[in-house]
């Protein structure tokens, strides 16, 4: 079985506002990338994301951007049981709901079916769940839940 996951959350903001909070590095830096984000998410580009809990900027390959609908990213995977490089794929989907909220779904796959691959996928699942929660609180209440959390 290949390690993979999917997490979802509803945000009480229109899809255009939620989508922009992900593609805009200034906004992403307010609630997610505790060390900052550089580069607007556009297909065919590579941006960087930096996190206080994993210092050092991560290159993030932007594979696909369908405005207000879908973002596909690739970044380096981690497997402490096999150091050979590989990438995982992150897919973010944005669905406008009838009540004006936005359903955000984030899925990631591509780890090796090893103990290290499973550990890494669990860690990323935790991270993306936290990202959704932080995004919701930032967009709905203007609070940064991650500020100081990892220091």
Instruction: Give the pTM.
Output: 0.94
Kindly report the length of the chain. Answer: 151
**pLDDT score of 51:** 85
Give pLDDT tens digits for 98-130.
Answer: 999 999 999 999 999 999 999 999 999 999 999
Give pLDDT tens digits for 3-15.
Answer: 999 999 999 999 9
Top-confidence residue, 56 or 122: 122
Closest CA to 132 of 29, 8, 16: 8
Ramachandran region of residue 44, left (φ > 0), alpha (ψ -120 to 50) or beta? left
Could you please report the per-residue DSSP string of 53-71?
TEEEEEEEEEEEEETTTEE
Give the chain's domains with CATH numbers.
Answer: 4-141 (3.30.530.20)
For residue 106 the two structure tokens come to: 């984030």
Q: Do the beta carbons of residue 78 and residue 84 sit within 8 Å?
A: no
**pLDDT score of 86:** 93
For residue 141 the two structure tokens come to: 């209440």
CA distance 121 to 107: 11
CA distance 115 to 74: 21
For residue 63 the two structure tokens come to: 């594979």
Give pLDDT tens digits for 58-113.
Answer: 999 999 999 999 999 999 998 888 788 999 999 999 999 999 999 999 999 999 99
């Amino acid at each position: 079985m290949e390690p993979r996951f999917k997490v979802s959350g509803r945000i009480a903001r229109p899809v255009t506002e939620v989508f922009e909070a992900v593609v805009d590095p200034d906004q992403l830096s307010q609630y997610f990338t505790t060390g900052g984000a550089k580069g607007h998410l556009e297909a065919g580009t590579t941006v960087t994301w930096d996190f206080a809990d994993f210092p050092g900027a991560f290159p993030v390959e932007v594979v696909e951007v369908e405005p207000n609908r879908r973002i596909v990213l690739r970044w380096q995977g981690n497997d402490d049981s096999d150091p050979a490089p590989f990438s995982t794929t992150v897919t973010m989907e944005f669905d406008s709901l009838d009540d004006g909220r936005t359903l955000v779904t984030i899925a990631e796959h591509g780890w090796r079916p090893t103990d290290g691959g499973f550990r890494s996928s669990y860690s990323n699942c935790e991270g993306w769940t936290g990202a959704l929660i932080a995004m919701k609180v930032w967009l709905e209440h203007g609070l940064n839940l991650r500020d100081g959390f990892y220091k």
